[in-house]
Amino acid sequence: MIIKTFLLFFYIGVFSFGGFYASLPLVRHEFVDKLGFLTVSQFTDIILITGMAPGAAGINAATYIGYKLAGILGSFAAVLGIALPTVILLIPLMGLVVKYREKPVVKAAFCGLAPAVVALVVGTAVTLGKDTLVDIKSVIIAVIALALMRYTKLHPLYIIFGFGIVGLLL
């Protein structure tokens, strides 16, 4: 069971282009439809819980499903499985970047990549913000958080939990 868990998550790791949520149909197909390891309602619960848990959705789901299937060792097998394709793929890719970083064409590419990456980060904020900043209170929280980040040395972790507590008190 542990080896099976590992292999299944390895498979999911290989095919999860675009993050964990993009691979949900695959997870459902493997664990619910094909193997029957999880019921539809267990699967829905897992999505609900990973949605509110902090950290990486992929890791959260992997540890949780792994745990349900084969205990703590199942959790480790699942995480190892989902992470291993990334380790195998990413490290050579990093080597390539280091090797070719000084080439003129790569330098030129990075001139365009820098603005594109800024757009990715700002774009994420805008997309999330469209659904999140919906009333006066949430806008005020966002403005204060932005100011705290910009003008103080406060670690983002404290800002996040600080406003979580503010949310509980409001």
Partner 1 sequence: MTYSIKTMSSLFFIFLKLAIATFGGGMAMVPILKREAVETHNWLSEEQFVEMMVVTQSAPGVIAIKFAVYLGYRAAGLGGVFFALLGLSIPSVFIMTFLAALISSGQGMETVDKFFFGVRPTVVALILGVGLNMGRNSLKSFFDFALFLFCLVLLVFFSCHPLLVILIGALAGIAKNKLGPQADKEVAP
CA 135 to chain centre: 27
Of 32 and 163, nearer to partner 1 (C-beta) is 163
Nearest residue to 78 via CA among 64, 92, 93: 64
CA 103 to chain centre: 32
CA distance 16 to 105: 30
> With binding defined as CB under 8 A, does residue 152 bind partner 1?
no
CA distance 164 to 167: 5
Of 25 and 156, nearer to partner 1 (C-beta) is 156
> With binding defined as CB under 8 A, does residue 26 bind partner 1?
no
Q: Which of 6, 43, 58, 77 binds partner 1 (CB under 8 A)?
A: 58
Both structure tokens of 65: 């499903």
> With binding defined as CB under 8 A, does residue 160 bind partner 1?
yes
Contact 14, 83 (CB under 8 A): no
What is the x/- site pattern for partner 1, positions 71-110, by CB under 8 A? Answer: -x--xx--x--xx-xxx-xxx-xx--x---x--xx-xxxx
- Of 24-32, 33-41, 49-57, which segment contacts partner 1 by CB under 8 A? 49-57
User: What is the rounded end-to-end Cα distance, in angstroms, of the chain?
Assistant: 47
What is the x/- site pattern for partner 1, positions 106-145, by CB under 8 A? Answer: -xxxxxxxxxxxxxxxxxxxxxxx--xx---xxx-xxx-x
> With binding defined as CB under 8 A, does residue 11 bind partner 1?
no
> With binding defined as CB under 8 A, does residue 40 bind partner 1?
no
